[in-house]
Amino acid sequence: MNEQGTLNLHEPVERLAARYTYTPSPAEEAERAEPVPVSERATKSSWAAIDLAAQARAGIAPSKPTMMHRSDGVALLYPGRCHGLAGEPEALKTWLAAYAGLQTAQAGGRVLYIDYESSAGELAERLVDLGAPDDALRRILYIGPLHPADAHDFATLRRLIDDGVRLVVIDGLTEAFASEGLDVVSNRDTAVWMAKYPRRIAALGPAVLLIDHLTKSTTGRGRYALGAGHKLAAVDAQFELIRQDPFGRGQHGSSVLLLRKDRPGAVRRHCVDEIAGVFEINSVGNRVTAELQPPTATTSPRDALAEQIVDYLANHPDAATNDVTRDIRGRAQELRKTLDRLVKDGTIERHPGRAGKQLHRIAPSYDSRMRPASPLSGGTQDANTNDGAGTTGASHSANNQPPKERNP
């Protein structure tokens, strides 16, 4: 580099290397030079072998979810574990995270919200709309990072977490990766980011909830659509929100919460098939009430699949059965049953195609304003005319303390 700030390509390679080689600070040099006693090397290395027999004798506490309670008292988030929450736009992801955070704060815990997408004002507005009192708001801490965390930032995070943080929400993974110069579709970059942030934080004790997007198209989506497949592999539990009724001011909204992965295994038994709950939210005046309800005996993932099939056929008219089962995630048998049900109730039409194929398209008589039946409503619902009566005044909401979990 010459005085004008341009690179001199004729400068010897050795001189360039010397000029741009990183020189550690004196403190870093001292840390590197400090010998580690042999007796301490095993305890300092993650490669040290662990005596499993001694671990078993000391007692192994099973992983038990303790946060994000449903109205029946069942909790869905594990302390010290990483959870993914994915969904399409307007699937109520941020509302559900705010709901879970408010529950945790009202139970006496602290919450840390790391937000790459929005603003402190927007989160505060949602919490106030949900009825958060001042003492609960003071226990919810907000960080809006504009640069990668350095050693000082991690030390600050450590102090905050040691001061009683039980839940950490990280909202906006695409923007989080971009701020680090990482590629969201790279499995290697995903592993690097997960190790640097979520797993590092979870190791300190709190539950970590990662809010991410699904692509709008259901075609070829898989269980974790946006970005690298390692996102699914790297988390301990993966949830997905599927919108049932769109939410807006003065309206009722709902989304089905699916459990796509449960490595610890303590949540799966509280699900009906893959459905972990139904998140209902209602806006009346300046107040918003919300409740995460359990699936009932009649709740079926077919309700969520029905909406996906209708959306798919809107973009792929005359799709064959094999097209639907290939492009929409879910069990092929359930998809075929759902197709049959939609044909029977007049939502879609079926007609023969070439080589014996059965083709499907949305029936002309189908009213696009009427979504497939909500799993809890027992019928169709027009979100524009719902006045909120009877939708949220059940046994538990974000404005109440989480009840104790019932024995299964």
Write down the H helix ranges in 2-130.
13-20, 26-33, 38-44, 52-58, 93-106, 120-129
Cβ–Cβ under 8 Å, residues 164 and 133: no
Alpha carbons 387 and 205: distance in angstroms, whole number: 41
Alpha carbons 32 and 53: distance in angstroms, whole number: 35
Least confident of 10-19, 45-54, 140-149, 269-278: 10-19
What does the buried/exposed string (b/e) look like for 294-332 if buried means 16 or more CB atoms within 10 Å of the residue's CB?
A: bbeeebbbbbbbbbbbbbbbeebeebbbebbbebbbbee
CATH architecture of residue range(s) 302-362:
Orthogonal Bundle (1.10)
Domain ranges for the chain, please list them.
Answer: 67-293, 302-362
Alpha carbons 272 and 186: distance in angstroms, whole number: 34
How many C-alpha atoms does 280 have within 13 Å on its Cβ side? 21
Length of the chain: 408
Alpha carbons 126 and 137: distance in angstroms, whole number: 11
Cβ–Cβ under 8 Å, residues 239 and 257: yes
Partner residues linked to 112 by β-bridges:
141, 168
Tell me the pLDDT band of 114, cut-offs 50, 70 and 90: very high
Residue 211: pLDDT above 90? yes
The residue ranking higher by pLDDT, 271 or 371, is 271
Nearest residue to 380 via CA among 366, 361, 362: 366
What does the buried/exposed string (b/e) look like for 117-127 if buried means 16 or more CB atoms within 10 Å of the residue's CB?
A: eeeeeebeebb
Alpha carbons 127 and 110: distance in angstroms, whole number: 14
Alpha carbons 360 and 319: distance in angstroms, whole number: 5
Cβ–Cβ under 8 Å, residues 301 and 335: no
Q: What local confidence, expressed as pLDDT, does residue 298 receive? A: 62
Cβ–Cβ under 8 Å, residues 360 and 318: yes
Helix (H, G, I), strand (E, B) or coil at 33: helix
DSSP state for residue 250 in the 8-state scheme: T
The residue ranking higher by pLDDT, 345 or 406, is 345
Alpha carbons 196 and 190: distance in angstroms, whole number: 10
Q: What local confidence, expressed as pLDDT, does residue 370 receive? A: 45
Least confident of 53-62, 196-205, 228-237, 249-258: 228-237
Task: Give Cβ neighbours of residue 32 (< 8 Å, ≥ 6 apart).
Answer: 24
Q: What local confidence, expressed as pLDDT, does residue 60 receive? A: 75
Pick the CATH number of 67-293 from 3.40.50.1860, 3.90.1580.10, 3.40.50.300, 1.10.40.30: 3.40.50.300
The residue ranking higher by pLDDT, 316 or 219, is 316
pLDDT digits (tens, 9 = 90+) for 62-79: 789 999 999 999 999 999
pTM metric for this prediction: 0.68
Tell me the pLDDT band of 182, cut-offs 50, 70 and 90: very high
In the chain, % of residues over pLDDT 70: 73
pLDDT digits (tens, 9 = 90+) for 341-386: 888 878 899 999 988 899 999 988 775 444 444 444 344 433 333 3
Alpha carbons 336 and 331: distance in angstroms, whole number: 9
Nearest residue to 389 via CA among 267, 266, 280: 280
Cβ–Cβ under 8 Å, residues 275 and 257: yes
Q: What local confidence, expressed as pLDDT, does residue 9 receive? A: 42
Q: What are phi and psi of 328, to 5 degrees?
A: -110, 130
Alpha carbons 397 and 403: distance in angstroms, whole number: 10
- How far, in Å, are 34, 42, 43, 275, 302 from residue 272 at the CA level? 57, 46, 44, 5, 11
Q: What local confidence, expressed as pLDDT, does residue 164 receive? A: 95
